[in-house]
Structure 1
Amino acid sequence: MTDAAPAPVLRVLSLGAGVQSTTLLVLAAAGELPRLDYAIFADTGWEPAAVYQHLDRVEKEIARPAVIPILRVSSGNIRDDALDPRHRFASMPLHILNRDGSPGMTRRQCTSEYKSKPIKKQIRSLLGYPYPARIPRDVFVEQWIGISTDEFHRAKDADVRYMRNRFPLIEAGLTRDDCLRILTEHGFASTPKSACLGCPYHGNAQWRAIRDGSPAEWADVVAFDHAIRAGNARANADGNRLLGQAFLHRSRLPLDQAPIDRPTAQERRARQLPLIEAHELEDGEPDGCSPWACRSGASTQEKFGLTA
């Protein structure tokens, strides 16, 4: 007879406040999934107002009645840090136009720094082993990740022993459309996508929504796009200036000049855009920024120039 597998000390939800993770919170609160001990929201400090409003509502109407504490954690304000020459900045995946006209993209470090790092710190605290304390091998949390069956390829194991990832939506065979149906049934049909206001992975539809629906937020991202043209402030202060220019929009044009309006079929043909590419430009990734499955996939760095 073999010993039973060790049980998790806690069951926590990585709450991005987008469609999938909100669905998990709703199902747990309704008793359709096991009880959660905590939900953890990693705040970059630059989420759209709609995300903060949604999070407040979910906390009031879903989490508190079910006695599921929502813990809000942060490593700082990603926008302020990018523009502060005194602050060590975790690079955003900016679109680069090199001097020779070739495209590139800076390395993505922001997900690790502003999402997964503060969550890991909070989980260590909940377990009673703050860094650099060694956590015993059999002490761990079960961490729920909001990935549905249509994105099963994004499901990955945790990179530390004290966190063991679980994907209840995949286990239940639920798609993103199923999640939208569940949220609609519970009065949360307007659940927003969770991503930084100025995320370079936005599709044109998201940029338009900001421009047309929130003038103040549009002015904010346009100003930020202008401010990062030469890269982040700390790199410039350290003498590591880009040889090219950095942009938020994949067209590598200033955001207020970028072609974010939906192209007509004639314009698409004139620009020789394949239908699939046109779809990606329009919609971007379907979900927001997950600490464990960033929309950009693996951390990569395309070719771009720096000064010597």
Structure 2
Amino acid sequence: MLALSAEGLLPKVDYAIFADTGWEPAAVYRHLDRLEEEVAKPAGIPVLRVRAGNIRADALNPDHRFASMPLYILNQDGKQGMTRRQCTGEYKIKPIKKKVRELLGYPHPQRVPKNVFVEQWVGISTDEFHRAKDADVKYMRNRHPLIEMGWSRSDCVRHLTSLGLADTPKSSCLGCPFHGNAQWRHIRDTSPEEWRDVVEFDAAIRKGNARANATGNRLLGQAFLHRSRVPLDRAPIDHVTTAERAALRGDAAEAEEMEHGVLDGCSPWACRGEAGKPKRDDFGLAS
């Protein structure tokens, strides 16, 4: 949408906002820098980067109230579950809303007048039209230009390719539990430093929330980044296990997700994380 606006194929936007969790792959930051220099600046479109902290550092800081990631849980009784997902709301949606209110001239806790609002473009394509929804606050009104244009994901890829942007990386936390095996392999095989980072983080969260542990709460289960609930450096990211194959027999959609991850898993306005219902309701895994 930024490129289409910069080219004049869509109206010129006032701002483009990127919500940074602080733990994106290096390739995403490099691509964002390139977009800003080659696409946004020549068109006079400011790119605003907003943050609510560093999700990796916050997760391991016992003094910080951490908004939980959707981690895979193996409870002491052998039952499996997931922690509730709060990270998208805390690290993406909230900082975007905060910046929007500032741009409108009514930062929190000021009340935004009834007829003051922004038109916010959300990049949902026709493949995901059912995820297009209205904003949940009156000072933001959602619009979905790609759907209005009838563009699918393939149309977007073709247009980016024509602009020399075919290598656009997927924006998501480096250690997002919604990664599929292909994404984990890509990190391992192309970026050893980032692979060490996620393996270390996976080991660090095994005993749950650092803040809960610091208070001496009782551990109820173990947390993992990979859906197999095996330490990431030993997880079966190169193949599907016999148990997984049996569970997936006849379910092509789940097999696709296991390999390629949850599509748009952390898109601020179309997060598909709600697909997994958590069995536990806290990150600490402790009473």
For normalisation by structure 1, the TM-score amounts to 0.87
Inter-partner Cα distance in structure 2 for 1:270 and 1:82: 29
* 2:131 is aligned with 1:157: no
* Equivalent position SS for 2:33: helix
TM-aligned CA deviation for residue 156 of structure 1: 1.5
Change (3 A) 1:50 1:135: same
Task: Return 5+ residue gaps in structure 2 as ranges.
Answer: none
The answer for the alignment partner of 2:23 in structure 1 is 46
TM-aligned CA deviation for residue 155 of structure 1: 1.2
The answer for the alignment partner of 1:11 in structure 2 is none
TM-aligned CA deviation for residue 307 of structure 1: 3.8
Inter-partner Cα distance in structure 2 for 1:288 and 1:185: 26
The answer for the alignment partner of 1:7 in structure 2 is none
* 2:231 is aligned with 1:254: yes
Inter-partner Cα distance in structure 2 for 1:164 and 1:302: 34
Change (3 A) 1:151 1:239: farther
Q: Deviations over 1:101-120 (max 9, x none)?
A: 11100011100110011111
Alignment check: 8 A CA contact 1:231 1:241 kept: no
Inter-partner Cα distance in structure 2 for 1:300 and 1:70: 35
Q: 1:215 aligns with which of 192, 196, 214?
A: 192
Alignment check: 8 A CA contact 1:108 1:300 kept: no
* 2:39 is aligned with 1:86: no
Q: Structure 2: which amino acid aligns with 1:219?
A: R
Q: 1:71 aligns with which of 30, 45, 48?
A: 48
* Equivalent position SS for 2:24: coil
The answer for the alignment partner of 1:105 in structure 2 is 82
* 2:9 is aligned with 1:32: yes
Q: 2:98 aligns with which of 121, 124, 139?
A: 121
The answer for the alignment partner of 2:268 in structure 1 is 291
The CA RMSD measured in Å over matched residues stands at 1.8
Q: Structure 1: which amino acid aligns with 2:52?
A: S
Equivalent residue runs for 1:263-278 within 5 Å: 263=240, 271-272=245-246, 273-274=248-249, 276=252, 277-278=254-255
Q: 1:176 aligns with which of 149, 153, 166?
A: 153
Alignment check: 8 A CA contact 1:244 1:304 kept: no
Task: Calculate percent identity across the aligned residue pairs.
Answer: 70
* Equivalent position SS for 1:165: strand
Q: Deviations over 1:180-209 (max 9, x none)?
A: 001000100000111000000000000000
The answer for the alignment partner of 1:18 in structure 2 is none
For normalisation by structure 2, the TM-score amounts to 0.93
Task: Return 5+ residue gaps in structure 1 as ranges.
Answer: 1-23
* Equivalent position SS for 1:64: helix
Q: Structure 1: which amino acid aligns with 2:157?
A: L
Inter-partner Cα distance in structure 1 for 2:236 and 2:89: 30
Q: Structure 2: which amino acid aligns with 1:231?
A: G
Alignment check: 8 A CA contact 2:178 2:265 kept: no
* Equivalent position SS for 2:18: strand
The answer for the alignment partner of 1:95 in structure 2 is 72
* 2:128 is aligned with 1:190: no
The answer for the alignment partner of 2:220 in structure 1 is 243
Change (3 A) 1:95 1:307: same
Alignment check: 8 A CA contact 1:230 1:245 kept: yes
Q: Deviations over 1:20-54 (max 9, x none)?
A: xxxx0110100001110000001000000010001
